[in-house]
A and B are shown apart, each in its own frame.
Chain A
Amino acid sequence: NAGVMQNPRHLVRRRGQEARLRCSPMKGHSHVYWYRQLPEEGLKFMVYLQKENIIDESGMPKERFSAEFPKEGPSILRIQQVVRGDSAAYFCASSLTSGSSPYEQYFGPGTRLTVT
Chain B
Amino acid sequence: GEDVEQSLFLSVREGDSSVINCTYTDSSSTYLYWYKQEPGAGLQLLTYIFSNMDMKQDQRLTVLLNKKDKHLSLRIADTQTGDSAIYFCAEPAGNQFYFGTGTSLTVIP
A: residues with CB less than 8 A from B are 4, 33, 35, 40-45, 48, 55-56, 58-59, 91, 93, 98, 100-102, 104-110
Asked if B99 lies at the interface with its beta carbon under 8 angstroms from chain A, I say: yes
Tell me if B95 and A100 are in contact (CB < 8 A).
Answer: no
| B interface: dominant SS | strand
Interchain nearest-CB distance for B3 vs A (Å): 11
B: residues with CB less than 8 A from A are 4, 8, 30-31, 35, 40-45, 48, 50, 88, 92, 94-102
| A interface: dominant SS | loop
A42–B4 CA distance with the chains assembled, in angstroms: 10
A58–B98 CA distance with the chains assembled, in angstroms: 13
Tell me if A56 and B48 are in contact (CB < 8 A).
Answer: no
Which residues of A sit under 8 angstroms from B99, Cβ to Cβ? 35, 42-44
Which residues of B sit under 8 angstroms from A40, Cβ to Cβ? 8, 101
Tell me if A102 and B31 are in contact (CB < 8 A).
Answer: yes
Interchain nearest-CB distance for A32 vs B (Å): 11
A114–B45 CA distance with the chains assembled, in angstroms: 27
